[in-house]
A and B are shown apart, each in its own frame.
Chain A
Amino acid sequence: MTGTSTRVALLVLFLAVLALPPFIGLNSYYLQVLNLAWIAAIAALGLNIVTGITGQVVLGQAAMMGLGAYTTGLLLLKTSLPWWIALPCALLLTGLVGAALGLISVRIRGHYLAITTLGLNEIFRLVVLNEEWLTGGAFGLRDIPVVNLPGPGASTASHLYLPVLGITVAVYALTLRVFRTRLGRDMRAIRDDELAAESMGVNSRMTKVVSFVVCAIWGALAGGLYVLFIGFVSPNNFVVLESIRLLLIVVIGGLGSIGGTFLAALVVTVLPEALRDLQMVYMAVFGLGVVIILLLAPRGLGILADWILAPFLPGYRDGPPVAVEQTTGISLERDGNATGPATTRAVPAPAESPLLKVRNVTKHFGGVAALNDVSFDVREGEILGLIGPNGSGKSTMINVCSGIVQASAGQIELGSSVVSGRAAWDVHALGVSRIFQNVRLWTSMTVLENVMVPHPDSRRSGTIESIIGTRSLFAKEERAREAALEALNLIGIGALADRTTSDLSFGQSRLVELARAIVNKPKLLLLDEPAAGLRGGLIMDLADILMRLRDQGMTILVVEHRVKLIMGMCDRVVVLNLGEKIAEGNPVDVARDPVVVDAYLGGKIKRDTTRAPGRVPRSEPIRSAS
């Protein structure tokens, strides 16, 4: 129960020990090694944000350091600006380069991004090496004025020790805060499942650009501090191997672990100095160590660091879990007296006005038409079932409506706005939310965080305020947290809030996904086989929930196979076959439609009909296909 105070005390003690060296007469060699460790820690943290937290492989962080270092150095040498102007200028310039790289990363991913960033690092090195008129060439930039601040001890290393350490701690504290609030959640969502993130309103392009900018700025800060403290910079400081060394730090610290990166920077910088006689083998050991850590202990040193830093990480709760109305499974009562403000609303008759208008939508994949000239309406306040045999284009329809697939032709409107042609996150912002056929949660995050991501208050916090950490950010965070808890309670799984989603059963995950889809009170909810993989009892509970949501005014488009579910809850159904709409109407009528029956039973019926026309079976034909 005293977890928090123990951990905070340990953290304070740790920081106090780190602040000691200049006061206990350590000579400047040790101070210099530690200073270099802090500088590496800042650069590696930037890399961790992009690679560990946002999931974009970057093999060129040293070039960011280099850009920051050279810009700072050149401004100091050639313009005689003071360092406190030169350094921010360097950060700004490198940040712009980072933004460009972020835009590139939207188009180029995975292996492409890895080799591209490595290539850019090599190009950077060649440019500073060859463009001697600007960069001083291979001999580097010399005689850069070193900053001198008053401080304990006699050497520059000693004077600058506390400022460098202070900046490092500040950078880490800031990153920790970003990590656990809106921006950090978006980054982690992109890493865990980019498609789900985009459909849940995360602007992946913007988030990637921001994470690259932060990565670049931390890199440039590290490079700038290096120049201000060493007074010399050469192309050899920023070779690809240095980028890889930074990557080693990130991996040894545990991908995505902020505290782990700090410890790993210390280990990777100090250990080779401590064991200088083993220089020959340590790169081999680190190389092999990375493979072993990734395969066997992916959290690396983060195991330790995250334990101490837990009070500052998301999903931490000291003491017993907050009392939640303990509900077993789904126990929403149909009379609507249990929870939620909207339940008092009277059951509206499905209005005639269409909410979603699908007009002549066609989608080709290569030469195959998954959807061919499909038109239908989803009326406000109804549950519309979208059914059809396998491969009839139902999931494609859902994907087109949610914006993760763009239609080849045709138009989709939601109310008065055009949906088609917009990015998935913009569609989400218009009020379209969805769940996926095979549950796609962000597995590294807690249940509560999963549900907080799409909440409008999360979505509305600006990038700048997320980084600076304004009062309004925290107010929004709090509102998103409360709304998320409310949504979880509505589904009846409030007790799971602090669990990590990877620990949940399939059924629980499905319900979390549903909570995540309704937390922003969408106008239209798209469900792709919500009952798939659920056991019997849960299915009917699910139908209850959906009907209750409908009763609260939500419009639902559901793809489903189970006839009982469709018949039981849908107001109308639309039937697709081979990408074309073949029927539309109330469930009972549609189930009797011979064309629908024909489609479901396929060629066999056709053969039968050619042999003996009129022998088409008419009783409950859909069931046989379910």
Chain B
Amino acid sequence: MLGQVIASGAAMGAIYALVALGYVFVWNTMGIINFAAGEFITFSAYIFVGTLITSLALPFPFALALIAILMAAMGAAFSRLVFSRLQRQRALVAIIATVGFGIFLKEMAHIIYGPEPLMYDGPFGMRTLDVAGILISYQQLLILAVVTLIMAAQYLVFRYTMLGKVMRAVAMDRETAALMGIPVERVLAGTFAYSSVLAALAGLLLAPLFFVTVDMGTMVGLKGFVAMIIGGFGSIPGAILGGLLLGILENIASFTISSAYKDAIAFALLLVFLAFLPQGILPEKVVDRA
């Protein structure tokens, strides 16, 4: 049965990894932690399920493309309006402002879509696959596949394309990048747009596992942040490893120790890491700006 617990944990961990990746990108280019990330997940899940799939009855691939575009646009807009201004502020201000913004998004979802949870079966319904006695739903497989794909694509883009180079240049030294003629503001907006797309992806991958409710993203967003700290603040491979590790450990601990304290486990793990391995598992070489 432990195998089953690990498999479910890994699927959840993949989602944390996705969210953690969004944090890493925004952190590396903007130096901000977006505490509203969980609410971006919620909001995009509502748009996807509530508007695109249910109200407009769009086919899945079309809805997928549309939600990516919508969230990217929203992310870019918010980046310009709010987050680029926060960059010039102290960390304290940025933290509180993103928390406030998260509340706003969550309440807006509530006001627009009402109190009833939305239901979405996903492209695969409830079918499962039996792998050596461990049952894995197609949705969980999809999550793992999508996350793997994103990681690979991102690695290639980041490593080998001009876009990747530009982003890395901005991340390393914004002033110099600006002097070299890189449109820094646009790169920042682009980064934020990308992290919003990651959140959207997390939202719609989660929707069939969870129901779409106003609280669906909050804990996932926070645990994604915990995953990033565990993996190594600002480190891309760390985010992936941290996410998977958190998902699996959390599930194992609630299986073996106590399910009542499941949410406490992630935070207890965070405390253990901060006490004994504050750099995380795969620390980023760049000095932490936190």
Interface residue ranges, A against B (CB under 8 Å): 51, 55, 57, 59, 107-112, 114-116, 118-120, 122-123, 126-127, 129-130, 244, 247-248, 251, 255, 280-281, 283-284, 286-291, 294-295, 298
Contacts and interface: CB of A to CB of B under 8 A. Distances in A.
A284 B274 contact: no
A281 B263 contact: no
11 contacts: A55-B90, A115-B226, A115-B229, A115-B270, A119-B268, A126-B261, A126-B263, A126-B264, A281-B111, A284-B108, A287-B104
B267 A287 contact: no
Pairs A-B, 6 closest by C-beta atoms = A119-B267, A290-B100, A287-B103, A287-B104, A284-B107, A110-B290
Given A112-B229, A116-B274, A295-B85, A284 B263 contact: no
A287 B107 contact: yes
Contact of A51 (B92, B102, B110): B92
Contacts of B102: 287
B92 A57 contact: yes
Contacts of B229: 112, 115
B11 interface: no
Contact of A287 (B86, B100, B222, B261): B100
Contact of A115 (B101, B222, B268): B222
A291 B263 contact: no
Contacts of B110: 280
A109 B222 CA distance: 17
Contact of B267 (A110, A120, A286): A120
A248 B97 CA distance: 10
B260 interface: yes
Nearest to B262: A126
B95 A57 contact: yes
B148 interface: no
B37 to A, nearest CB: 12
Given A126-B260, A284-B104, A111 B274 contact: no
B35 interface: yes
Contacts of A116: 267, 270-271, 274
Given A111-B33, A122-B263, A122-B267, A295 B82 contact: yes
B150 interface: no
A106 to B, nearest CB: 12
A294 B89 contact: yes
- The interface centre, meaning the residue of A107, A115, A295 with most chain B CB atoms within 10 A of its CB, is A115
A291 to B, nearest CB: 5
Given A116-B271, A247-B99, 11 more contacts: A109-B290, A111-B225, A118-B222, A119-B271, A123-B267, A244-B103, A281-B111, A283-B107, A284-B104, A287-B106, A291-B104
Contacts of B222: 115, 118-119
Contacts of A123: 264, 267-268
B91 interface: yes
Q: Please report whether the interface of chain B is mostly helix, strand, loop or mixed according to DSSP.
A: helix
A57 to B, nearest CB: 5
Chain B: interface residue count, which band? Answer: 35 or more
A112 B104 contact: no
B96 interface: yes
B93 interface: yes
A7 B110 CA distance: 44
Task: Determine which residue in B90, B104, B229 has the highest number of CB atoms from chain A within 10 A of its CB, and name it.
Answer: B104
Contacts of A115: 222, 225-226, 229, 270
Interface string B72-85: 00000000001001
B101 A287 contact: yes
Nearest to A283: B107
Contacts of B274: 107-108, 112, 116
B264 A122 contact: yes
A109 B290 CA distance: 7
A281 B104 CA distance: 9
B270 A294 contact: no
Interface in B241-264: 260-261, 263-264
A108 B277 CA distance: 12
Given A109-B290, A130-B261, A119 B270 contact: yes
B20 to A, nearest CB: 12
B92 A281 contact: no
A57 B290 CA distance: 12
A244 B290 contact: no
B35 A284 contact: no
Contacts of A248: 100
B99 A244 contact: yes
A1 B105 CA distance: 48
A302 to B, nearest CB: 15
Contacts of A57: 91-92, 95-96
A295 B97 CA distance: 8
A219 B47 CA distance: 39
A521 to B, nearest CB: 33
Contacts of B85: 295
B264 A114 contact: no
B267 A283 contact: no
B230 to A, nearest CB: 11
A283 B271 CA distance: 31
A394 B24 CA distance: 35
A288 B104 contact: yes
Contacts of A126: 260-261, 263-264
A47 to B, nearest CB: 11
Contacts of A283: 103, 107
Interface in B3-27: none
A114 B107 contact: no
B92 A284 contact: no
A294 B96 contact: yes
A244 B107 CA distance: 14
Contacts of A111: 33, 91, 95, 225, 290
Contacts of B93: 255, 294, 298
Contacts of B264: 119, 122-123, 126-127
A84 B184 CA distance: 61
B249 to A, nearest CB: 15
A130 B260 contact: yes
B6 to A, nearest CB: 24
Contacts of A247: 96, 99
A218 B102 CA distance: 27
A566 to B, nearest CB: 30
Contacts of B108: 284
A193 to B, nearest CB: 11
A5 to B, nearest CB: 36
Nearest to B35: A114
Q: Most chain-B CB neighbours within 10 Å: which of A59, A116, A284? A: A284
A588 to B, nearest CB: 40
Contact of A251 (B100, B101, B266, B268): B100
Nearest to B39: A287
A281 B111 CA distance: 7
A538 to B, nearest CB: 28
A291 B92 contact: no
B88 to A, nearest CB: 10
A238 B56 CA distance: 41
B96 A290 contact: yes
Contacts of A284: 103-104, 107-108, 111
Nearest to B274: A108
A471 B224 CA distance: 52
A519 to B, nearest CB: 27
A119 B268 CA distance: 8
Contacts of B96: 51, 57, 247, 251, 255, 290, 294
A9 to B, nearest CB: 35
Contacts of B111: 280-281, 284
B236 to A, nearest CB: 18
A116 to B, nearest CB: 7
Given A59-B99, A130-B260, A281-B107, A112 B290 contact: yes
